[in-house]
Protein backbone atom coordinates (compact mmCIF):
# COMPACT_ATOMS: atom_id res chain seq x y z
CA UNK A 1 0.00 0.00 0.00
CA UNK A 2 1.32 3.41 -0.92
CA UNK A 3 2.30 5.58 2.03
CA UNK A 4 0.21 8.75 1.92
CA UNK A 5 1.96 10.49 4.81
CA UNK A 6 4.31 13.41 4.37
CA UNK A 7 8.02 12.71 4.91
CA UNK A 8 10.53 15.35 5.96
CA UNK A 9 14.15 15.40 4.83
CA UNK A 10 16.71 17.87 6.11
CA UNK A 11 18.31 19.80 3.25
CA UNK A 12 19.83 22.64 5.24
CA UNK A 13 20.44 23.58 8.83
CA UNK A 14 17.03 25.18 9.23
CA UNK A 15 15.15 24.03 6.10
CA UNK A 16 13.17 20.89 5.31
CA UNK A 17 11.67 19.36 2.18
CA UNK A 18 8.20 17.91 2.54
CA UNK A 19 7.49 15.03 0.12
CA UNK A 20 3.78 15.39 -0.62
CA UNK A 21 1.50 12.44 -1.51
CA UNK A 22 1.04 13.88 -5.03
CA UNK A 23 4.77 13.52 -5.72
CA UNK A 24 5.63 17.21 -5.44
CA UNK A 25 8.23 18.56 -3.03
CA UNK A 26 7.67 21.68 -0.98
CA UNK A 27 10.34 23.48 1.02
CA UNK A 28 9.26 24.56 4.49
CA UNK A 29 11.71 26.36 6.80
CA UNK A 30 12.11 25.95 10.52
CA UNK A 31 11.75 29.00 12.73
CA UNK A 32 14.37 29.65 15.37
CA UNK A 33 12.43 32.39 17.15
CA UNK A 34 9.19 32.43 19.11
CA UNK A 35 6.45 32.66 16.49
CA UNK A 36 3.76 33.13 19.14
CA UNK A 37 5.36 36.40 20.23
CA UNK A 38 6.70 37.49 16.85
CA UNK A 39 3.89 36.56 14.49
CA UNK A 40 3.26 40.14 13.32
CA UNK A 41 6.95 40.52 12.38
CA UNK A 42 6.83 37.16 10.58
CA UNK A 43 3.85 38.42 8.59
CA UNK A 44 5.66 41.60 7.54
CA UNK A 45 8.76 39.64 6.52
CA UNK A 46 6.91 36.93 4.57
CA UNK A 47 3.66 38.45 3.34
CA UNK A 48 4.66 38.45 -0.34
CA UNK A 49 5.35 34.69 -0.14
CA UNK A 50 2.22 33.70 1.76
CA UNK A 51 -0.43 31.48 0.21
CA UNK A 52 -4.00 32.69 -0.12
CA UNK A 53 -5.07 30.57 2.86
CA UNK A 54 -2.19 31.84 4.98
CA UNK A 55 -3.03 35.45 4.16
CA UNK A 56 -6.64 34.81 5.12
CA UNK A 57 -5.56 33.35 8.47
CA UNK A 58 -3.26 36.29 9.16
CA UNK A 59 -6.01 38.78 8.30
CA UNK A 60 -8.32 37.05 10.75
CA UNK A 61 -5.54 36.99 13.35
CA UNK A 62 -5.03 40.75 13.09
CA UNK A 63 -8.78 41.36 13.48
CA UNK A 64 -9.00 39.09 16.52
CA UNK A 65 -5.92 40.71 18.06
CA UNK A 66 -7.41 44.20 17.63
CA UNK A 67 -10.66 43.17 19.31
CA UNK A 68 -8.75 41.54 22.18
CA UNK A 69 -6.88 44.81 22.71
CA UNK A 70 -10.20 46.66 22.80
CA UNK A 71 -11.74 44.32 25.40
CA UNK A 72 -8.68 43.80 27.61
CA UNK A 73 -9.12 47.16 29.44
CA UNK A 74 -12.66 46.08 30.34
CA UNK A 75 -11.31 42.88 31.89
CA UNK A 76 -8.81 44.95 33.86
CA UNK A 77 -11.62 47.24 35.05
CA UNK A 78 -13.59 44.21 36.24
CA UNK A 79 -10.51 42.83 38.01
CA UNK A 80 -10.11 46.05 39.96
CA UNK A 81 -13.84 46.28 40.66
CA UNK A 82 -13.98 42.81 42.26
CA UNK A 83 -10.62 43.36 43.99
CA UNK A 84 -8.93 40.38 42.32
CA UNK A 85 -5.14 40.23 42.56
CA UNK A 86 -2.82 39.20 39.76
CA UNK A 87 -2.20 36.76 38.17
CA UNK A 88 -5.85 36.57 37.18
CA UNK A 89 -7.79 33.34 36.83
CA UNK A 90 -10.26 34.30 34.05
CA UNK A 91 -12.63 31.45 34.94
CA UNK A 92 -12.88 32.64 38.54
CA UNK A 93 -13.25 36.24 37.37
CA UNK A 94 -16.23 35.36 35.18
CA UNK A 95 -17.74 33.24 37.97
CA UNK A 96 -17.48 36.05 40.53
CA UNK A 97 -18.79 38.66 38.13
CA UNK A 98 -21.73 36.46 37.12
CA UNK A 99 -22.75 36.31 40.79
CA UNK A 100 -22.47 40.08 41.00
CA UNK A 101 -24.69 40.45 37.93
CA UNK A 102 -27.34 38.26 39.54
CA UNK A 103 -27.18 40.22 42.78
CA UNK A 104 -27.29 43.70 41.23
CA UNK A 105 -29.46 43.11 38.17
CA UNK A 106 -27.40 45.84 36.50
CA UNK A 107 -27.60 45.94 32.70
CA UNK A 108 -24.14 47.52 32.61
CA UNK A 109 -22.70 44.62 34.63
CA UNK A 110 -24.46 42.15 32.35
CA UNK A 111 -22.91 43.85 29.34
CA UNK A 112 -19.43 43.58 30.86
CA UNK A 113 -19.97 39.90 31.68
CA UNK A 114 -20.90 39.29 28.06
CA UNK A 115 -17.71 41.08 27.03
CA UNK A 116 -15.65 38.85 29.35
CA UNK A 117 -17.06 35.76 27.66
CA UNK A 118 -16.40 37.35 24.27
CA UNK A 119 -12.78 37.95 25.32
CA UNK A 120 -12.45 34.27 26.24
CA UNK A 121 -13.77 33.22 22.82
CA UNK A 122 -11.37 35.60 21.08
CA UNK A 123 -8.39 34.35 23.06
CA UNK A 124 -9.24 30.79 22.11
CA UNK A 125 -9.65 31.73 18.45
CA UNK A 126 -6.30 33.53 18.49
CA UNK A 127 -4.69 30.48 20.08
CA UNK A 128 -6.11 28.21 17.37
CA UNK A 129 -5.06 30.59 14.59
CA UNK A 130 -1.50 30.69 15.88
CA UNK A 131 -1.33 26.90 15.98
CA UNK A 132 -2.64 26.69 12.41
CA UNK A 133 -0.29 29.34 11.05
CA UNK A 134 2.78 27.99 12.79
CA UNK A 135 2.04 24.51 11.47
CA UNK A 136 1.57 25.73 7.89
CA UNK A 137 4.60 28.04 7.84
CA UNK A 138 7.30 26.20 9.73
CA UNK A 139 8.74 22.91 10.81
CA UNK A 140 8.82 23.55 14.58
CA UNK A 141 12.15 22.21 15.79
CA UNK A 142 12.10 23.84 19.17
CA UNK A 143 10.84 22.16 22.30
CA UNK A 144 7.81 23.73 23.99
CA UNK A 145 9.89 23.69 27.17
CA UNK A 146 12.83 26.01 26.72
CA UNK A 147 16.08 25.45 28.54
CA UNK A 148 16.58 28.57 30.61
CA UNK A 149 20.19 29.63 31.07
CA UNK A 150 19.87 29.90 34.83
CA UNK A 151 21.71 27.60 37.18
CA UNK A 152 19.32 25.31 39.03
CA UNK A 153 20.35 25.18 42.65
CA UNK A 154 18.86 22.41 44.73
CA UNK A 155 17.03 23.96 47.63
CA UNK A 156 17.83 23.07 51.20
CA UNK A 157 15.59 20.40 52.76
CA UNK A 158 12.26 22.12 53.30
CA UNK A 159 10.51 22.20 56.64
CA UNK A 160 7.06 21.19 55.42
CA UNK A 161 4.28 19.27 57.15
CA UNK A 162 3.88 15.56 56.47
CA UNK A 163 2.76 15.14 52.87
CA UNK A 164 0.30 12.68 51.36
CA UNK A 165 -0.25 12.33 47.63
CA UNK A 166 -2.46 10.74 45.00
CA UNK A 167 -0.71 10.76 41.62
CA UNK A 168 -2.58 9.81 38.44
CA UNK A 169 -0.99 9.34 35.01
CA UNK A 170 -2.81 7.93 31.97
CA UNK A 171 -1.23 7.27 28.57
CA UNK A 172 -3.12 4.21 27.35
CA UNK A 173 -6.79 5.14 27.25
CA UNK A 174 -9.01 2.22 26.28
CA UNK A 175 -11.21 4.09 23.84
CA UNK A 176 -9.47 7.43 23.27
CA UNK A 177 -6.38 8.90 21.66
CA UNK A 178 -3.26 7.75 23.47
CA UNK A 179 -0.83 10.07 25.22
CA UNK A 180 2.94 9.67 25.53
CA UNK A 181 4.12 11.60 28.58
CA UNK A 182 1.43 11.35 31.28
CA UNK A 183 2.90 8.25 32.91
CA UNK A 184 6.35 9.87 32.85
CA UNK A 185 4.78 12.81 34.70
CA UNK A 186 3.47 10.54 37.42
CA UNK A 187 6.84 8.89 37.96
CA UNK A 188 8.62 12.28 37.89
CA UNK A 189 6.31 13.67 40.57
CA UNK A 190 6.75 10.53 42.67
CA UNK A 191 10.53 10.78 42.30
CA UNK A 192 10.49 14.44 43.37
CA UNK A 193 8.45 13.63 46.47
CA UNK A 194 10.56 10.61 47.42
CA UNK A 195 14.05 11.93 46.67
CA UNK A 196 13.75 15.66 47.26
CA UNK A 197 11.10 15.86 49.97
CA UNK A 198 11.77 12.44 51.52
CA UNK A 199 8.08 11.50 51.52
CA UNK A 200 7.67 7.86 52.62
CA UNK A 201 6.50 5.50 49.89
CA UNK A 202 3.38 4.47 51.82
CA UNK A 203 2.15 8.08 51.82
CA UNK A 204 2.02 8.16 48.00
CA UNK A 205 -0.75 6.40 46.06
CA UNK A 206 0.01 5.86 42.36
CA UNK A 207 -2.67 5.20 39.73
CA UNK A 208 -1.06 4.43 36.36
CA UNK A 209 -2.89 3.59 33.12
CA UNK A 210 -5.17 0.57 33.75
CA UNK A 211 -5.31 1.30 37.48
CA UNK A 212 -6.74 4.78 36.84
CA UNK A 213 -10.37 3.78 36.31
CA UNK A 214 -13.14 6.07 37.46
CA UNK A 215 -13.93 3.72 40.35
CA UNK A 216 -10.27 3.43 41.42
CA UNK A 217 -9.62 7.18 41.18
CA UNK A 218 -12.59 8.05 43.38
CA UNK A 219 -11.95 5.14 45.73
CA UNK A 220 -8.32 6.15 46.21
CA UNK A 221 -9.25 9.77 46.89
CA UNK A 222 -11.58 8.59 49.65
CA UNK A 223 -9.41 5.79 51.08
CA UNK A 224 -5.96 7.37 50.88
CA UNK A 225 -7.02 10.93 51.71
CA UNK A 226 -10.45 11.75 53.16
CA UNK A 227 -10.94 8.61 55.27
CA UNK A 228 -7.27 8.03 56.11
CA UNK A 229 -6.98 8.33 59.90
CA UNK A 230 -3.20 8.68 59.69
CA UNK A 231 -3.57 12.08 58.03
CA UNK A 232 -3.73 14.77 60.66
CA UNK A 233 -5.41 18.11 60.20
CA UNK A 234 -2.93 20.46 58.54
CA UNK A 235 -0.87 17.76 56.83
CA UNK A 236 0.00 18.64 53.23
CA UNK A 237 -2.09 16.87 50.57
CA UNK A 238 -1.19 16.74 46.87
CA UNK A 239 -3.39 15.49 44.03
CA UNK A 240 -1.65 15.39 40.64
CA UNK A 241 -3.49 14.39 37.44
CA UNK A 242 -1.82 13.97 34.04
CA UNK A 243 -4.12 12.85 31.25
CA UNK A 244 -6.91 14.09 29.02
CA UNK A 245 -9.40 16.78 29.98
CA UNK A 246 -12.82 17.48 28.47
CA UNK A 247 -15.39 20.27 28.62
CA UNK A 248 -19.19 20.02 28.66
CA UNK A 249 -21.46 22.93 27.83
CA UNK A 250 -24.14 23.69 30.43
CA UNK A 251 -26.61 26.55 30.91
CA UNK A 252 -24.42 27.72 33.81
CA UNK A 253 -21.30 27.80 31.63
CA UNK A 254 -18.57 25.30 30.72
CA UNK A 255 -18.19 22.29 33.01
CA UNK A 256 -14.70 20.80 32.97
CA UNK A 257 -13.84 17.17 33.65
CA UNK A 258 -10.87 14.86 34.02
CA UNK A 259 -11.09 11.60 32.10
CA UNK A 260 -10.43 8.13 33.58
CA UNK A 261 -8.78 5.37 31.55
CA UNK A 262 -12.09 3.50 31.15
CA UNK A 263 -14.26 6.43 30.01
CA UNK A 264 -16.98 5.33 27.58
CA UNK A 265 -16.64 1.69 28.65
CA UNK A 266 -20.06 0.08 28.35
CA UNK A 267 -21.83 -0.74 31.62
CA UNK A 268 -25.25 -2.10 32.56
CA UNK A 269 -26.45 1.45 33.19
CA UNK A 270 -24.81 3.10 30.16
CA UNK A 271 -21.10 3.91 30.14
CA UNK A 272 -18.26 4.98 32.42
CA UNK A 273 -18.33 8.76 32.78
CA UNK A 274 -15.76 11.48 33.31
CA UNK A 275 -15.21 13.09 36.71
CA UNK A 276 -16.64 16.61 36.55
CA UNK A 277 -15.17 19.67 38.22
CA UNK A 278 -18.33 19.84 40.34
CA UNK A 279 -17.85 16.31 41.66
CA UNK A 280 -14.16 16.95 42.30
CA UNK A 281 -14.92 20.33 43.87
CA UNK A 282 -17.43 18.87 46.32
CA UNK A 283 -14.98 16.11 47.24
CA UNK A 284 -12.31 18.74 47.92
CA UNK A 285 -14.79 20.51 50.18
CA UNK A 286 -15.25 17.30 52.17
CA UNK A 287 -11.49 16.73 52.27
CA UNK A 288 -10.89 20.28 53.49
CA UNK A 289 -13.43 19.90 56.29
CA UNK A 290 -11.83 16.60 57.38
CA UNK A 291 -8.11 17.34 56.98
CA UNK A 292 -7.75 21.11 56.66
CA UNK A 293 -7.09 23.44 53.74
CA UNK A 294 -3.44 22.51 53.06
CA UNK A 295 -4.44 20.93 49.75
CA UNK A 296 -2.70 21.34 46.38
CA UNK A 297 -4.26 20.13 43.12
CA UNK A 298 -2.17 19.95 39.93
CA UNK A 299 -3.91 19.34 36.59
CA UNK A 300 -1.65 18.73 33.59
CA UNK A 301 -4.46 18.53 31.07
CA UNK A 302 -6.57 21.06 29.23
CA UNK A 303 -10.22 21.83 28.68
CA UNK A 304 -10.19 24.08 25.61
CA UNK A 305 -11.33 21.36 23.21
CA UNK A 306 -12.05 21.79 19.53
CA UNK A 307 -8.54 22.95 18.67
CA UNK A 308 -7.89 23.40 14.96
CA UNK A 309 -4.43 21.90 15.35
CA UNK A 310 -4.01 18.19 14.70
CA UNK A 311 -3.69 15.86 17.66
CA UNK A 312 -0.09 14.96 16.82
CA UNK A 313 2.73 16.98 15.32
CA UNK A 314 6.18 16.57 13.83
CA UNK A 315 7.61 17.35 17.26
CA UNK A 316 6.20 14.12 18.66
CA UNK A 317 3.83 16.33 20.62
CA UNK A 318 0.10 16.01 21.16
CA UNK A 319 -2.58 17.78 23.17
CA UNK A 320 -4.15 16.64 26.42
CA UNK A 321 -7.77 17.34 25.55
CA UNK A 322 -10.50 15.29 23.95
CA UNK A 323 -14.13 15.83 23.06
CA UNK A 324 -16.82 15.39 25.71
CA UNK A 325 -18.72 12.13 25.78
CA UNK A 326 -21.81 12.15 23.50
CA UNK A 327 -24.16 12.24 26.47
CA UNK A 328 -26.12 14.93 28.33
CA UNK A 329 -23.95 16.69 30.90
CA UNK A 330 -26.63 15.90 33.49
CA UNK A 331 -25.52 12.25 33.35
CA UNK A 332 -22.19 13.28 34.93
CA UNK A 333 -24.06 15.04 37.71
CA UNK A 334 -26.27 12.01 38.30
CA UNK A 335 -23.20 9.78 38.56
CA UNK A 336 -21.76 12.11 41.19
CA UNK A 337 -25.04 12.22 43.11
CA UNK A 338 -25.25 8.41 43.11
CA UNK A 339 -21.81 7.98 44.68
CA UNK A 340 -22.55 6.13 47.95
CA UNK A 341 -19.46 7.58 49.67
CA UNK A 342 -20.29 11.25 49.17
CA UNK A 343 -21.27 13.35 52.16
CA UNK A 344 -22.61 16.45 50.47
CA UNK A 345 -26.33 17.15 50.36
CA UNK A 346 -28.18 15.57 47.48
CA UNK A 347 -28.59 17.98 44.58
CA UNK A 348 -25.43 19.95 45.38
CA UNK A 349 -24.05 19.39 41.86
CA UNK A 350 -27.11 20.78 40.10
CA UNK A 351 -27.28 24.04 38.15
CA UNK A 352 -28.07 26.92 40.44
CA UNK A 353 -27.08 25.02 43.59
CA UNK A 354 -23.44 24.15 42.96
CA UNK A 355 -21.12 26.71 44.53
CA UNK A 356 -17.45 26.70 43.67
CA UNK A 357 -15.37 27.18 46.82
CA UNK A 358 -11.89 28.63 46.11
CA UNK A 359 -10.89 28.35 49.77
CA UNK A 360 -10.64 24.54 49.89
CA UNK A 361 -7.41 24.15 47.88
CA UNK A 362 -4.88 25.77 45.56
CA UNK A 363 -5.04 24.76 41.90
CA UNK A 364 -2.02 24.69 39.61
CA UNK A 365 -3.20 24.23 36.02
CA UNK A 366 -1.14 23.56 32.91
CA UNK A 367 -2.63 26.38 30.87
CA UNK A 368 -5.34 28.98 30.50
CA UNK A 369 -8.84 27.72 29.72
CA UNK A 370 -8.49 28.70 26.04
CA UNK A 371 -5.10 27.00 25.54
CA UNK A 372 -3.84 23.45 24.98
CA UNK A 373 -1.64 21.47 27.38
CA UNK A 374 1.22 19.95 25.42
CA UNK A 375 2.14 16.28 25.77
CA UNK A 376 5.65 15.05 24.91
CA UNK A 377 7.26 11.60 25.13
CA UNK A 378 9.33 12.78 28.10
CA UNK A 379 6.31 14.21 29.91
CA UNK A 380 3.84 17.05 29.94
CA UNK A 381 5.39 20.42 29.13
CA UNK A 382 3.88 21.85 32.31
CA UNK A 383 4.96 19.08 34.67
CA UNK A 384 8.50 19.15 33.28
CA UNK A 385 8.71 22.90 33.87
CA UNK A 386 6.96 22.68 37.26
CA UNK A 387 9.35 20.11 38.71
CA UNK A 388 12.32 22.01 37.32
CA UNK A 389 11.06 25.12 39.09
CA UNK A 390 10.33 23.28 42.34
CA UNK A 391 13.92 22.06 42.36
CA UNK A 392 15.28 25.59 41.97
CA UNK A 393 13.38 27.42 44.72
CA UNK A 394 13.12 27.28 48.49
CA UNK A 395 9.90 25.63 49.59
CA UNK A 396 10.30 27.35 52.93
CA UNK A 397 9.84 30.85 51.50
CA UNK A 398 8.14 30.56 48.08
CA UNK A 399 4.42 31.04 47.51
CA UNK A 400 2.32 29.24 44.93
CA UNK A 401 1.98 32.47 42.96
CA UNK A 402 5.74 32.98 42.94
CA UNK A 403 6.22 29.37 41.87
CA UNK A 404 3.98 29.71 38.82
CA UNK A 405 5.18 33.20 37.91
CA UNK A 406 8.72 31.81 37.95
CA UNK A 407 7.95 29.31 35.18
CA UNK A 408 9.13 31.36 32.19
CA UNK A 409 10.34 28.63 29.85
CA UNK A 410 7.00 27.40 28.50
CA UNK A 411 5.90 28.21 24.98
CA UNK A 412 2.33 28.22 23.70
CA UNK A 413 0.76 27.78 27.14
CA UNK A 414 0.57 29.90 30.29
CA UNK A 415 0.28 28.00 33.58
CA UNK A 416 -2.38 29.14 36.00
CA UNK A 417 -2.54 29.38 39.79
CA UNK A 418 -5.97 29.72 41.40
CA UNK A 419 -7.51 29.62 44.84
CA UNK A 420 -7.94 31.93 47.79
CA UNK A 421 -4.69 30.72 49.37
CA UNK A 422 -2.46 30.99 46.32
CA UNK A 423 -0.21 33.48 48.14
CA UNK A 424 0.51 30.92 50.87
CA UNK A 425 3.87 29.18 51.17
CA UNK A 426 3.93 25.97 49.12
CA UNK A 427 2.58 22.98 51.09
CA UNK A 428 2.07 25.24 54.14
CA UNK A 429 -1.46 26.59 53.64
CA UNK A 430 -2.82 27.55 57.03
CA UNK A 431 0.57 27.28 58.71
CA UNK A 432 2.67 30.12 60.10
CA UNK A 433 4.68 31.41 57.12
CA UNK A 434 7.29 32.87 59.45
CA UNK A 435 7.97 29.41 60.83
CA UNK A 436 9.24 28.28 57.46
CA UNK A 437 11.57 31.26 57.24
CA UNK A 438 12.86 30.66 60.77
CA UNK A 439 13.53 27.03 59.90
CA UNK A 440 15.47 28.09 56.81
CA UNK A 441 17.64 30.48 58.84
CA UNK A 442 18.22 28.08 61.72
- Domains of the chain plus CATH, in order, are 40-137 (no CATH), 163-305+314-431 (3.40.50.1460)
Q: Cβ atoms within 10 A of the Cβ of 342, count?
A: 18
The pLDDT value recorded for residue 328 is 95
The CA angle 40-64-411, to the nearest 5 degrees, is: 55
Report pLDDT for 176.
Answer: 93
Sites in the chain below the pLDDT cut of 70:
1-32, 139-158, 304-317, 432-442
| Residue 47 vs residues 28, 134, 439: alpha-carbon distances, Å | 15, 14, 59
Phi, psi of 198, deg, nearest 5: 60, 40
pLDDT of residue 136: 85
What is the C-alpha separation between 256 and 10, in angstroms, rounded?
41
Per-residue model confidence (pLDDT) at position 435: 54
> How far is 323 from 401, CA to CA, in rounded Å?
31
Amino acid sequence: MENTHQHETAVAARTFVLHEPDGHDRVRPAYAGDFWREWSSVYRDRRVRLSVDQKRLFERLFRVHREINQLSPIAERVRVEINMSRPVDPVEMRRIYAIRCQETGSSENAKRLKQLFRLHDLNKEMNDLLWSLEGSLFVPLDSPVQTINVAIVRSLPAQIPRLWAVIIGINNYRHERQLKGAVSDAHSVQSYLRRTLNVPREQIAMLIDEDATRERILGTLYDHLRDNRRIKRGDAILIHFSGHGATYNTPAGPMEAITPVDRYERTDSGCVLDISDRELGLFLGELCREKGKNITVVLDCCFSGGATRSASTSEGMSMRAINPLPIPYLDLLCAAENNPRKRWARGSTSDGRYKHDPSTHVLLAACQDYEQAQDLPQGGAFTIALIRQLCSISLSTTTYTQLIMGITGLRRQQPLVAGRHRDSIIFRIGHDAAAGIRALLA
